[in-house]
Every structure is written in structure tokens, then in C-alpha cells.
Amino acid sequence: LTKPFDVDELEARLRHALDRQEFLLHYQPKADLATGRVTGVEALLRWQPPGDGLIGPDQFIPALEETGLIVGVGGWVLREACGQMRRWQQDGMRPLQLAVNLSARQLRQPGLVELVAQALAETGLEAHRLEVELTESMLIDDSELVQEALTGLADMGVRIAIDDFGTGHSSLRYLKRFQVDTLKIDRSFVMGTPGDADDSAITAAVIALGQGLGLNVVAEGVETDAQLAFLQARQCHEWQGYLLSRAIGPDAFLRWLSAREASPGSAS
Ligand code: C2E
Ligand code: MG
Ligand code: MG
């Protein structure tokens, strides 16, 4: 925000933001480390209040969580992102994977599974194309509601990723309890590779853990060729980060992907 809001003003403005269509999604690609091929995108929420710049989620997600507005906004994110996948396909883009972040509140929202099913049905997106990203702390919650939601999503064919892996209340038990498909290594570790010995050891260990458990491992926040080489040498599966692309709007993403796939030798 250009000028700092107090909490009440922020909440008051957020209360109308959905109705006033002030939210939008940007998309950040991820790619296969072995082939260089783009595998999918992560939908990332942005807020554009009138007269302000584009605001990133770290500045307003906590307020959305606190007020419960995240449930409505999160539902919009799901429908909008699934709808975008269809619009891209109509524009001739090949099918990609879509990752959507879920908040703690959404996971405990009764009817989440139906909400996701409806978003898929309305847009014709196949369930296996969708991956929901959850954080570790959300899975520490042993409630029936969370268990049911995750089982329901997995049974539908929706994939489940653990975001920011290694930074939460790490408990490896939930990797057995829930049908997790993907680990996303937090960018705070990835950014320390290869120079920092601890970050490198943690990153390598998470890759090995994922491989051992048969999970897909995605490295977040890759900014340098040296980081990419480190991940490649350890056979991490996918990568995401500014070195590939920042999160960009849907039209820009379509152009970016077409240009990348048209130019020879750009695959990695
Ligand atoms: P996240 O899910 O871990 O998303 C990755 C964040 O890292 C994004 O920030 C992305 O722009 C940033 N990033 C990606 N590559 C790099 C890189 O190479 N270097 C650096 N420094 N940063 C990189 P963003 O878009 O600001 O999102 C922040 C967080 O907000 C997300 O973290 C996610 O937890 C949350 N969020 C975003 N959209 C949604 C949403 O629709 N719903 C919910 N519940 N949370 C969301
Ligand atoms: Mg994420
Ligand atoms: Mg993350």
C-alpha cells in the first residue's frame, strides 16, 4: 500500500473488494528440471484498490483470514483460476497443471470439497489438473473436518501439495496420514544453495525425502543458475522462481509461453 492503512481501514476496504472486482490473479510458471518443459502455473492473488498500486498477498491475506473474508475470496480464486485454464485452452494453449493456494480457514470450511467439485464442473477442468497447496501447520490440525476435506479432494483426483515445506511445524506423520503428492521446498532454503552449507543440506534432504516417498518435489524461489544446477544435480523434479518467470497476468503468460516454446534451445 502506498500509504499505510490501519487495520480497521484495511478491513473496511477489503470487505467490498470482492464485489468491486478489485482482485485479480497472476500466474507463475513451474518447469520440469530434467526436460525444461513448463509443467504448470501457480495462481497468486493480487489486489488492485482504486488509486493504489498492485498489492501483494502478504499485505492483505492475514486480514482476509482474520475477518473470514478469505472464504469468499478463496472461492473466487478457485473459480477464476479454473476458468482461466479453460480460456487459455480456447486460445490454443496446451493443457497445464494449475496450483491454487488454500488458507487454513478454507480447509476447515464445511463444503470445501463440493466447492472444488463445482469449480471443476463449471469450467470443465479435469480434477487431476488441479493441485491445492497447503502449509504444514494446516495439517497439524487433526480434526475430522480436515481429514474429510483432504480425503474428499484426493478421492476426486485433485492433487495435494505441501507449500513452504520445512518452515512450519514439521511433522512427517501427516505425510503418511494424508495423500500428499508434492513437496514444495521453501524458498528460504533454496535461496541459500549452493553457498550455504545448512540450506544446501536441508534442500538435498528434502529432495531425498520426496524421492524416497515417491512424491513430486518442487523447488521454489530459484533465482540463479547456480541454484538451478544444484537442484538439477540432486534430481529435484520441478522448479519455480524468478529465473524462470515472475508471476504475470494471464495475457502476458500466454505470450511468454508461446515465445518460450517457439524459440529453439529455450527449453532449459
Ligand atoms: P507461496 O504460495 O509460497 O507463493 C510463492 C511466493 O513466492 C509468491 O509471492 C511468489 O511471487 C514468490 N516468488 C516466486 N519466485 C520467487 C523468487 O525467485 N524469488 C522471490 N524472492 N520470491 C519468489 P506472492 O505472490 O507475494 O505470494 C505470497 C504468498 O501469499 C504465497 O506464498 C501464498 O502463501 C499466499 N497466497 C497467494 N495467493 C493466495 C491465494 O489465492 N490464497 C491464499 N490462501 N494464499 C495465497
Ligand atoms: Mg504456494
Ligand atoms: Mg511457498
Q: Is 38 in the pocket of ligand 1 (CB under 6 A)?
A: no
Q: Return the closest-CA partner of residue 84 out of 122, 34, 132.
A: 122
CA of 136 to the centre of ligand 2 (A): 12
User: What pLDDT digit, counting tens, does each position of 203-217 carry?
Assistant: 999 999 999 999 999
In short, whether 152's Cβ falls inside 6 Å of ligand 1 is: no
Probe residue for ligand 1, chosen from 27, 55, 220, 224 as the CB with the greatest number of ligand atoms within 8 Å = 220
**Residue 218: HSE in the Cβ half-sphere, 13 Å Cα cutoff:** 25
Return the C-alpha cell found at 99.
Answer: 496450483
Q: What is the pLDDT of residues 123-166, one digit of tens each?
A: 999 999 999 999 998 888 778 889 999 999 999 999 999 999 98
CA–CA separation, 76 and 14 (whole Å): 14
Backbone CA torsion sign across 259, 263, 265, 267: positive
Going by C-alpha positions, the residue among 153, 133, 136 that lies closest to residue 41 is 133
Q: Decide whether any atom of ligand 1 lies within 6 Å of the 186 Cβ.
A: no
Residue 14: HSE in the Cβ half-sphere, 13 Å Cα cutoff: 27
8 Å CB contact between 202 and 189: yes
In the chain, % helix, strand, coil (3-state, to 5) comes to: 45, 20, 35
On whether the CB atoms of residues 132 and 153 are closer than 8 A, the answer is yes
pLDDT-derived band of residue 268, with 50, 70 and 90 as boundaries?
Answer: very low
Task: Compute the distance from residue 127 Cα to the ligand 3 centre, in Å.
Answer: 22
| Predicted local confidence at residue 133, as pLDDT | 98
Quote the cell numbers at residue 238: 520441478
Band of residue 251 on the pLDDT scale cut at 50, 70, 90: very high
For residues 32 and 68, the answer to whether their CB atoms sit within 8 Å is no
Q: What pTM does this model have?
A: 0.96
Task: Name the 3-class secondary structure at 33.
Answer: coil
Residue identifier of the C-alpha nearest atom 46 of ligand 1:
101
pLDDT single digits (tens) 44-93: 999 999 999 999 999 999 999 999 999 999 999 999 999 999 999 999 99
Instruction: Kindly state the average pLDDT of the residues 189-204.
Output: 98
**Does residue 136 contact residue 168 with C-beta atoms inside 8 Å?**
yes
Going from the Cα of 264 to the center of ligand 1, the distance in angstroms, rounded, reads: 30
DSSP, res 55: B
Q: How far is the CA of 163 from the centre of ligand 3 (A)?
A: 5
Q: Is the pLDDT of residue 267 over 70?
A: no
CA of 243 to the centre of ligand 3 (A): 16
How far is residue 204 from each of residues 36, 54, 217, 234, measured CA to CA in Å?
Answer: 20, 35, 11, 7
